[in-house]
A and B are shown apart, each in its own frame.
Chain A
Amino acid sequence: MKTISKDILKKAASKLLFDMTEAQYALLEDEFGTLLSQMDLIGKIPDIDSVAPMTFPFDTGNAFMREDVPEAPALVSDILKNAGHVEDDQIKLPKVVG
């Protein structure tokens, strides 16, 4: 069975670009005890590695080359309405270089 530590959880959270409090990590570490026991049930299936992973229920058969039909794109002004920081018709971000 896989083991867990707060450092591993912090590594996983860091990849997701959010922070959690120490108390939240402690709760999560506790929850992982049960979760890993549940996940262990998958590893106990004797023929688990006899098949390929299933990524979708089935092919829907809806892949086709559509006709090129011109469509009006969304207006920049409309798109920018949802952004919090806008300058000169562009979304503004903290400076990256320079």
Chain B
Amino acid sequence: MSYLDLTIKEIHEALVARLVTPIELVKEALERAKANTDNAFEIILEQEALAQAAMLLEPEVDNMLWGIPYVAKDNFSTKDIPTTGGSNILTGYVPLFDATVITRLKEKHAILIGKTTLDELAMGGTGKSGHKGKTFNPYDKTKQRMIGGSSSGSAAAVCAGIVPFALGSDTGDSVRKPASYAGLVGMKPTWGRISRYGLFPFAPSLDHVGFLTRSAYDAALVLNALAKSDKYDATCSDTPAIDYTNSINQPIAGKRIAIIEEIVKSKHRPEVIKAFEAIVEQLKNDGAIVTIVKFRRDLLEAIFPIYITISCAEATSNAANLDGIKFGPATWGTTYEDAMRNARTAGFSELIKRRFVIGSYALLRENQEVLFLRAQKGRRLIVEELNKIYQDHDLILAPAAPSIAPKFEDKTDQLSDEYLIADNHLVLGNFGGFPGVTLPLGKLNDMPFGIHVMGRPFEEGLVLAASQAIENHTGLRNMIAPKEVNL
């Protein structure tokens, strides 16, 4: 047994008892990172991590992240460390400052051992569009199944037991969907709960900082470290944070849980629904009051088109500064516009260009009213419906994904219920800024699948409490992909 295979809480106890040291943990994490074959890393920070670990000599009993190795998605700015966003348009870019979340973790003496792969500029959900190619699911040693995205490398690193937690970002479901495919706890708190200063923006009205852990309690620990207001981010809330390791222990007896019938009835694997229904019964036995509620089907079918329209439109503006002049590939041209065009033509992949064109198309003067503004109106109608549910319920529960991680070459009918609703409903949390957690629900063919818990804004404590109750029932805590599998 390695201490690195434990949860943050357990590793902390070992550090305090001096059974292991930060330098020993970091050395082992680095070895595992270097041996990883899932394409999880943009860069491994060996010298930096070892230097930081060497300075940590006296365990801090009250600081649960002291000496804990972690990784960050490569769209968080890290001072003096190359940061690419998974795109060639940022080749060679070295930020001059740390993202606030990186600063917070430094202050806690957590140790960043690497930056992880992602879909290019976080604009994807497959983990195959980044400039370093496909990131693989550690549970599938045949390298056929995705881990999802866009926080693909972060999920792979935690799933493979390289680190016990990782930073990610979530604009549609980019933390919570990979969590489902990787047997992890993936949390996206309330919009504004965690500072986004230094996170490369994709679609700011939807972007959230999130993180991946291997237990609900560890998620509470990480949230404790990150949930603070930030003078550098005007969209970061000054709502006081609480101690989530306390609130996670509140009983769920008497709590009102809604299940949206149309989501559960959209196409899922029968095994997923069976496991979901079983956990619902157990929550009822715990005293939770569970109700099946209806949701307008026309709104649910519009989730994905609303998301793709808003996110791509916002992305076109946010990527306007990626010109290859101030940073990025040093191309040249006869005019400055030529220089920018050459940089952007070479720097963006084909897929990301197509996404940008979708956004630009929605923003064309003749399309704005019918496409972009109507998408924003549809978003409001959806959030209003959700808020009606939250008037009578504390939580909304759903399967996190239709099935286990798909194969890279799998095709889905993009006008089917499975795609429009079952595969995309997690974005409801981004539309309304609601806190959400995905956690393991079961396994099928040795591949994990998850369940999603969503609450009212700033009620992360209750979301985590329900997550811990589910975790207690499933027993699926601290899941790590097998190191060896017979093919």
Interface residues of A (CB under 8 A from B): 2, 4, 8-9, 11-13, 15-20, 24, 27-28, 31-32, 34-35, 37-39, 41-49, 51-58, 60-63, 66, 74, 78-79, 81-85, 91, 93-94, 96
Contact = CB atoms under 8 A, between A and B. Distances in A.
A96 B334 CA distance: 9
Interface string B86-99: 00000011101100
A8 B380 contact: no
B360 A84 contact: no
Interface string B340-382: 1100110010100110111011001001001101111111110
27 contacts: A8-B364, A9-B357, A12-B364, A13-B357, A16-B356, A17-B337, A18-B344, A24-B353, A24-B354, A28-B354, A34-B415, A38-B304, A41-B301, A42-B302, A42-B306, A53-B377, A54-B376, A56-B191, A56-B205, A57-B431, A61-B237, A79-B96, A84-B324, A84-B328, A91-B325, A93-B325, A94-B334
Given A34-B414, A44-B298, A62-B192, A81 B94 contact: yes
A57 B337 contact: no
A94 B354 contact: no
Contacts of B338: 94
A49 B335 CA distance: 44
A10 to B, nearest CB: 9
B205 A57 contact: yes
B361 A51 contact: no
Contacts of A43: 370, 374
Q: Which of A42, A61, A91 has the most CB of B within 10 A?
A: A42
Interface in B214-248: 229, 231, 233-239
B302 A45 contact: yes
Given A15-B360, A16-B353, A62-B233, 12 more contacts: A13-B360, A17-B340, A24-B350, A34-B415, A45-B378, A48-B377, A55-B205, A56-B433, A58-B192, A58-B457, A62-B237, A85-B330
Contacts of A84: 324-325, 328-331
A5 to B, nearest CB: 11
Kindly list the 7 A-B residue pairs having the minimum CB-CB distance in the complex, ordered from nearest: A84-B330, A57-B433, A53-B376, A54-B380, A82-B327, A12-B360, A18-B344
Contacts of B117: none
Contacts of A81: 94
Interface of B: 92-94, 96-97, 191-192, 205, 229, 231, 233-239, 298-299, 301-302, 304-306, 308-309, 316, 323-341, 344-345, 348, 350, 353-354, 356-358, 360-361, 364, 367, 370-371, 373-381, 383-384, 414-415, 420, 431-433, 457
The winner among A19, A52, A84, A96 for most chain B CB atoms within 10 A is A84
Nearest to B340: A17
A44 B381 CA distance: 13
B239 to A, nearest CB: 8
Contacts of A93: 325, 336, 339
A61 B191 CA distance: 12
B367 A11 contact: no
A35 B370 contact: no
B151 to A, nearest CB: 20
A34 to B, nearest CB: 5
Which of B333, B345, B431 has the most A CB atoms < 10 Å from its CB?
Answer: B345
A16 B343 CA distance: 12
Contacts of A79: 96
Contacts of A51: 377, 380-381, 384
A40 to B, nearest CB: 8
A20 B338 CA distance: 14
B205 A31 contact: no
Given A93-B325, A96-B335, A48 B378 contact: yes
A16 B345 contact: no
A81 B384 CA distance: 48
A52 B299 CA distance: 16
B248 to A, nearest CB: 24
Contacts of B367: 2
A69 to B, nearest CB: 9
A57 B308 CA distance: 17
A77 B438 CA distance: 44
A38 B316 CA distance: 20
B357 A12 contact: yes
B433 A58 contact: yes
A94 B339 contact: yes
Given A51-B384, A57-B431, A20 B336 contact: no
Contacts of A46: 298
A60 B237 contact: yes
Contacts of A78: 96
B364 to A, nearest CB: 6
